Amino acid sequence: MAPTLASGYRWLVGSAGTVAVEPASITSGVVDDAFGSWTYHRCRPAHLAGLVDHIWLFDGSMACLRERTFPNGLLEIIVHLGEHYSVVEDRDTWVCPTTCVTGLQLGHLVVEAPPARTKVLGVRLTPAGAYALLVRPMHDLASLTVDLGDVTGVAAVELAERCAAAPTAERCLRAALQWTDARLALATRLDPAIAWMVGEIRERHGAVSIGGLRERIGWSKTRLTTRFAEQVGVSPKQYARVMRFNRALQLVHAGGASLADVAIEAGYYDQPHLNAEFKELSGFTPGEYQHAHRYPNSVSVADA
């Protein structure tokens, strides 16, 4: 859901130095162009690698209010510290609560920024991190955006209050990191077999035989499907499908390769197979995506 860094992006770390947030560091940028005007801060806590992808903070306003995001195999907690974003579903638009969580997505998601300036924090989680932090069956959240308070109770209020009380971006990110650290310290981890399978699927970008992986862990198909959905949110085949799509999306976004080559590199049977899968998960064909109004430094698209 985070708005992305557009062409006016300027790294501040090189000239101003890295802002230390033990045990992570912050990188910051500024945007002021046709996409809008905002500052962006991000930290990747090394000690939470494999659980937290990164924590980000946005402060500013968007000119292109609607953004289409795509499945990436991650989940995200959002904390609104100003005007709220909305989720757009077909012809319906509903305003997000102060704190919310978006489960693992199996299709594209369109969000709408408020017309006024706002401030938003996000915690982007791996399936392992989400299962540990949220302490509930992950299939309850798949392809949904729900009130974080309905999942974590008063802990959601604590997160929002700590972030809102922070006087600086650094302190805000630190508050979110400390909240995340505390919940993960006492959390339940993924079953080792599930964690191994998730890692194999992700490392191979979904281009792997699920049956072959299942044979290696020695589980029945029913047991694997049930436990994987409980701890990751979707079935192993669905997760592999998302990771394969994400690989194709990155390749199409980068450019320089024919779509036939992208299909082979991403593990599809052929280009028609790529086209069909890409269309179903993103709403675009690969060719349409190439001509869409994409945010620089991101795969997200400004949605009409």
pLDDT digits (tens, 9 = 90+) for 3-54: 332 223 222 333 333 333 444 689 999 988 888 898 999 999 999 999 999 9
pTM score over 0.75: yes
Identify the structural domains of the chain with CATH numbers, from first to last: 10-185 (2.60.120.10), 192-302 (1.10.10.60)
Q: Could you report the per-residue pLDDT of 261-295, keeping only the tens digit for each?
A: 999 999 999 999 999 999 999 999 999 999 998 87
- C-alpha distance from residue 147 to each of 16, 96, 154 (Å): 37, 8, 12
Residue 180: per-residue pLDDT: 97
* CA separation for the pair 204, 208 (Å, rounded): 7
* CA separation for the pair 125, 74 (Å, rounded): 6
Query: Is residue 96 predicted with pLDDT exceeding 90?
Result: yes
Query: Is residue 2 predicted with pLDDT exceeding 50?
Result: no
Residue 233: per-residue pLDDT: 98
Query: 171 versus 9: which is more confidently predicted?
Result: 171
Where does residue 240 rank: exposed (0-12), middle (13-18), buried (19+ CB within 10 A)? buried
Query: Is residue 146 predicted with pLDDT exceeding 50?
Result: yes
Residue 33: per-residue pLDDT: 85
* CA separation for the pair 136, 151 (Å, rounded): 8
Residue 24: per-residue pLDDT: 63
Where does residue 168 rank: exposed (0-12), middle (13-18), buried (19+ CB within 10 A)? exposed
Three-state SS for the chain is CCCCCCCCCEECHHHHCCEEECCEEEEEEEEEECCEEEEEEEECCHHHCCCEEEEEEEEEEECCCEEEECCCCCEEEEEECCCCCEEEECCEEEECCCEEEECCCCCCEEEECCCCCEEEEEEEECHHHHHHHHCCCHHHCCCCEEECHHHHCHHHHHHHHHHHHCCCHHHHHHHHHHHHHHHHHCCCCCCHHHHHHHHHHHHCCCCCCHHHHHHHHCCCHHHHHHHHHHHHCCCHHHHHHHHHHHHHHHHHHHCCCCHHHHHHHHCCCCHHHHHHHHHHHHCCCHHHHHCCCECCCCCCEECC
Residue 187: per-residue pLDDT: 84
Residue 298: per-residue pLDDT: 84
Share of the chain above pLDDT 70, in %: 92
Question: What is the average per-residue pLDDT within 144-166?
Answer: 97
Residue 216: per-residue pLDDT: 97
Query: Is residue 299 predicted with pLDDT exceeding 50?
Result: yes
